[in-house]
Copies of this chain bind each other. A is one copy, B any other.
Amino acid sequence: MGKHDDQLAQATQLSQMLIDVVERAKSDFAEIAASFGLPVPLARAICLLDTPAPMRDIAARLVCERSYVTSLADELEQRGLITRVPGEDRRVKLLTLTTAGTELRDQIAAAVAVRSLVFRRLDATQRRQLEPLLEQLLTD
């Protein structure tokens, strides 16, 4: 096996490790969401609503269709976690956290941060090493 193939094999192994890390993170997130009585998609949505946002923007950030955001918003509204606030452009509706929603979102965000692998398994030095590598991986 040549040098090129070695590097390919190493890259493949590292990619798999990256996937494993994120799978673990997602499973942690699912546990946290469940502990607050939320399906994962609702928990994901609520985490984006730090500030009120048009449904179209939520769709962009969740990388999903507008129609799906409608159904998420319906569920969140039924649970009393958000309200639909009309925008200045009257086609637009701003999803806005209620008091209960804000409280829940803060609790979820705090739990996610504290339990994150990056926080628990890496020290400050290691996190500083990781950052530029991830930036490199994400450059377009």
Contact = CB atoms under 8 A, between A and B. Distances in A.
Given A21-B18, A112-B12, A118 B130 contact: no
A131 B12 CA distance: 12
Interface of chain A: mostly helix, strand, loop or mixed: helix
Interface stretch (A35-43, A93-101, A121-129): A121-129
Given A15-B25, A22-B22, A129-B129, A139 B121 contact: yes
B114 A137 contact: no
B25 A18 contact: yes
A51 interface: no
Contact of A15 (B7, B23, B116): B116
A1 interface: no
A112 B21 CA distance: 19
Task: Give the oligomeric copy count.
Answer: 2
Contacts of A122: 11, 133, 136-137
Interface in A79-134: 109, 112-114, 116-119, 121-122, 124, 126-127, 129-131, 133-134
A20 interface: yes
B118 A18 contact: yes
Interface string A5-26: 0011111101101111111110
Contacts of A19: 22, 25
A138 B14 CA distance: 12
